[in-house]
């Protein structure tokens, strides 16, 4: 019941959004730090691949074996440092305007995921109580 792909995906998305919030806050805190390189969270592509219904799910005996679609339980956000760009003096690459856009986008995504998960759990509670 709690292992449904939707419930797991929503929980993982909330974890990713919380990590993204911390990464953006760190980027903004270091906007004037010479030599600082911004980071971002990589998650959406792995989640999409795990939820792709077209990919065949093959039985594997080792985590590194190719098995088609990824198991959604193993999908987790990853922090990636962007080193190939320079935005400001001192070789810093934090763009405060872009970080504020990322912050707003992440807030919307977090709110959507939390509301969707809350709705699923509320529906489950309604069914458990027998419609009362």
pLDDT band at 97 (very low <50, low <70, confident <90, very high): very high
Give the mean model confidence (pLDDT) for residues 90-94.
Answer: 86
Pairing relationship of beta strands 78-81 and 39-42 according to DSSP bridges: antiparallel
Yes or no: say if 20 and 106 are a contact pair by the CB < 8 Å rule: yes
Q: Is the pTM of this model over 0.85?
A: no
Give me the number of domains the chain comprises.
Answer: 1
SS (H, E, C) the chain: CCCCHHHHHHHHHHHHHHHHHHHHHHHHHCCCCCCCCCEEEECHHHHHHHHCCCCCECCCCCCCCCCECCCHHHCCCEEEECCCCCCCHHHCCCCHHHHHHHHHHHHHHHHHHHHHHHHHHHHHHHHHCCCC
Yes or no: say if 72 and 9 are a contact pair by the CB < 8 Å rule: yes
Q: What is the pLDDT of residues 51-90, one digit of tens each?
A: 775 555 566 676 666 655 556 777 889 999 998 888 777 7
Q: Which residue has the higher pLDDT, 67 or 35?
A: 35
The boundaries of the domain holding residue 91 are 5-128
Task: Please provide the distance, in angstroms rounded to a whole number, between the alpha carbons at the two ends of the chain.
Answer: 20
What pLDDT sits at residue 2?
A: 66
Query: Nearest-CA neighbor of 47 among 10, 4, 18?
Result: 10
Average pLDDT across the chain, whole number: 85
What pLDDT sits at residue 54?
A: 57
pLDDT band at 7 (very low <50, low <70, confident <90, very high): confident
Q: Which residue has the higher pLDDT, 50 or 35?
A: 35
């Amino acid at each position: 019941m709690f292992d449904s792909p939707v419930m797991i995906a929503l929980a993982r998305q909330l974890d990713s959004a919380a990590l993204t919030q911390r990464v953006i806050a760190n980027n903004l805190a270091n906007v004037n730090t010479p030599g600082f390189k911004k980071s971002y969270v990589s998650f959406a592509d792995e989640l999409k691949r795990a939820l792709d219904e077209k990919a065949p799910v093959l039985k594997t005996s080792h985590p590194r074996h190719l098995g088609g679609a990824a198991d959604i339980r193993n999908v987790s956000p990853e922090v990636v440092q962007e080193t190939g760009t320079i935005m400001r003096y001192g070789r810093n690459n934090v763009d405060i305007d872009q970080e504020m856009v990322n912050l707003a986008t992440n807030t919307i995504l977090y709110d959507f995921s939390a509301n969707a998960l809350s709705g699923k759990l509320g529906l489950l509670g309604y069914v458990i109580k027998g419609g009362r």
